[in-house]
Amino acid sequence: MHGLSLIKLARWSVRERCLAAAGFVVFCVALLAAGRGLASGAMGEILRVRFGGDAERTRVVIDLDRTTRGQVIQAGSDGHVVLSLAGVSPPDRRSGDGHGLVRDFRVAGAGAASRIELDLATSAEIERRFLLPPGDGVAHYRYVIDLKATGRAPTRSTPRADARTARPAERPLVYIDAGHGGRDPGAQGADSRESAVTLAAALALKQELERSGRYRVRLTRDSDAYVDLYRRVAIARQAGADLFISLHADAGADPATRGASVYTLSEQGAGRAVREFTRGENWQRSLNLPGRDASVDRILLDMTQRATQNRSAQLARTLLGELEGADHPLLRRSHRDAGLAVLLAPDVPAVLLEMGFITNPEDERLLNDSRARRRLMRAVAEGIDRYFREPAGEVQMAGTPAGAN
Ligand code: ZN
């Protein structure tokens, strides 16, 4: 494959548990130093709202003194973007002029949340949004909303009608990637091939997630078709995916080796991803960065990616917890490098799940058994559910278990 270095998070060893505990302590100390304990449930504060970009693409940055979780209430219809941010109160300056695609903004308190309303100057939609933790010389959290002009004339209704017809919060978009396909069959088992097993699992996971009604779900392929690895990532990014999960089945020389494992991109792989990404000419534009100063864009990209990596590691831990809870066999920790281009998106949290070894008779039987598959995908859906319930940042640790590799 592409020779990228990856970390593997399997069963936590004693050493990892120690590292995680140490990381948690560091995290708590940082919280106390910030003077606001999340555990106490104290409200945080929006410090200010600022804007960047132009009339094609506008970035809205909301500075916060603590982490938050954003929910879209209105995504651009009727000339408004409305979001609620949990656990933070409005800033001193509650309204003002916008910039670029935003004509003006208002912030109002709404219970334990703040409601942010952006009046659009022209028709636009949310391209992506994400939370950046403190770092790179910035001491506070930032909630970023990237807006993109849609080129349609805005249709406006009266603000009063908006309040009543506002759509429910947009559901997160989960992209499921069935590994391999078409002329790339993947690993071969005694009775089955990887590309068929991953497609069956992807369809089962889609069904599980859709059943909850909480997600929009799309597949990178829904038939035995070949799809380029980079293309898989690109379509998920372009669609504004909130999460990308790639499903695979492992293969080993020893038929006794079995169990599931989860991969996320390592620091090393992430560095390479940044280099790959910035080699293209229009990378600033594709990430919706200002594009005037390459070094500023590079820093913004690094910050975006760091936040994404933290969220990916959080998802990997959540998934492994659910699989363990469902008594699904997990692979003993092992070190392995593999190139997994599907994890390269710098702004979409991504994990790769090796569901088991197709070269192990018992794992292969489970991979091809529809009931076992449904059970496994139910655990994965549970993990995804739990991931979306956990606010970004709150379970981040100073050193992830990957540090033990
Ligand atoms: Zn594979």
Q: Which residue has the higher pLDDT, 276 or 387?
A: 387
9 pLDDT band (50/70/90 cuts)?
A: very low
- 217's enclosing H/E stretch is strand 216-219
**Could you tell me the distance, in angstroms and rounded to a whole number, from the CA of residue 311 to the centre of ligand 1?**
23
Q: Which residue has the higher pLDDT, 51 or 226?
A: 226
**Could you tell me the distance, in angstroms and rounded to a whole number, from the CA of residue 251 to the centre of ligand 1?**
8
270 pLDDT band (50/70/90 cuts)?
A: low
**Could you tell me the distance, in angstroms and rounded to a whole number, from the CA of residue 130 to the centre of ligand 1?**
29
**Could you tell me the distance, in angstroms and rounded to a whole number, from the CA of residue 112 to the centre of ligand 1?**
45
The predicted pLDDT at position 11 comes to: 38
pLDDT digits (tens, 9 = 90+) for 362-390: 999 999 999 999 999 999 999 999 999 87
**Could you tell me the distance, in angstroms and rounded to a whole number, from the CA of residue 179 to the centre of ligand 1?**
6
Task: Map out the domains of the chain with their CATH numbers.
Answer: 4-14+170-396 (3.40.630.40), 43-165 (2.60.40.3500)
Burial 175-185 (b: 16+ CB within 10 A, else e): bbbbbbbeeee
Mean pLDDT of 268-278: 66
Mean pLDDT of 337-356: 73
**Could you tell me the distance, in angstroms and rounded to a whole number, from the CA of residue 180 to the centre of ligand 1?**
6
Torsion of CA 150, 153, 158, 160, to 10 degrees: -10
pLDDT digits (tens, 9 = 90+) for 213-250: 999 999 999 999 999 887 888 888 889 899 999 999 99
Burial 217-228 (b: 16+ CB within 10 A, else e): bbbbbeeeeebe
The predicted pLDDT at position 183 comes to: 94
The predicted pLDDT at position 385 comes to: 94
288 pLDDT band (50/70/90 cuts)?
A: low
Three-class secondary structure of residue 133 per DSSP: coil
Q: Which residue has the higher pLDDT, 55 or 268?
A: 55
Torsion of CA 144, 148, 152, 156, to 10 degrees: 10
Residue 6 has pLDDT above 70, yes or no: no
The predicted pLDDT at position 151 comes to: 73
**Could you tell me the distance, in angstroms and rounded to a whole number, from the CA of residue 340 to the centre of ligand 1?**
9
Neighbours of 30 (CB within 10 A): 12
**Could you tell me the distance, in angstroms and rounded to a whole number, from the CA of residue 221 to the centre of ligand 1?**
14
> Pairing relation of β-strands 350-357 and 44-53?
unpaired
